[in-house]
Structure 1
């Protein structure tokens, strides 16, 4: 699978929680930001989607899902607060298992619908999802990462 290097954004998994109803009452590690019971971190290193996912796993975290507009807005604001430049970042969405059937890496239901018109789509057969507010569609191979 080809994928772009993006900024890394990971969502920290504390305990082994995969349900959408869990609210972490924990304190996030230094450098991580808490939102809706989860801890998030933006990384400026650029990497492929697969490498970003692996990087998050090494931190006991996942690439984030976007269940609603609140999380989408939080992620955009977090990226902008961490680095003033406009970045595209990897999210945990993929359609690798079945073409056009998008799923989240953390197992949460795929029900967010406020994507740009026609999105998400499988641009150049990449099977990975990025958060990109500039509107351009770089090939899916080098972006920043979020955990």
Structure 2
């Protein structure tokens, strides 16, 4: 059920979990929630989430700023060197510390409550 892309494997899980439950799931599978570092990778991962009805459900990816609000990090420890924010809205809203993708019409990124439940994308090295 994993898909190979750019020397890593990815898997979209449509079972809704909180962000930390999703991260634990990915850790159990040998990876982390996905980190995204380019337009091409973002497009690829967005494609993994595409549903049968041609919709793109919102999904957790590995970004969080719970340690220091406004300072975004990836759960896999890689550098946060790319973003796709909805209207450059990367600030921490009250309690919004976990990152989801496929937000609004342009399917961009947006922070959300970490206890919200969404599908998610795992990534692991091969």
Q: Give the TM-score, by structure 1 length.
A: 0.70
**1:92 matches 2:62:** yes
Deviations 1:79-136 (A, max 9, x none): 1167743311101101111110001111111111342213333234121000024359
Looking at structure 1, the residues matched to 84 and 104 of structure 2 have their Cα atoms a distance apart, in angstroms, of 16
Instruction: Determine which structure has the larger strand proportion and give its number.
Output: 2
1:24-43 to structure 2, matched below 5 A, reads 31-43=1-13
How much is the aligned-residue C-alpha RMSD, in angstroms? 2.2
Q: Which portions of structure 1, spanning 4 or more consecutive aligned residues, are displaced by more than 3 angstroms?
A: 81-85, 135-139
Structure 1 spans left out of the alignment, 5+ residues: 1-30
**Relative to 1, partners in 2 of residues 1:138 and 1:98: Cα closer, same or farther, differing over 3 Å?**
closer
Match of 1:106 in 2: 76
Match of 1:129 in 2: 99
**1:44 matches 2:14:** yes
Structure with max Cα Rg: 1
Structure 2 spans left out of the alignment, 5+ residues: none
Deviations 1:56-81 (A, max 9, x none): 11111100111111110001111116
Equivalent residues, number: 117
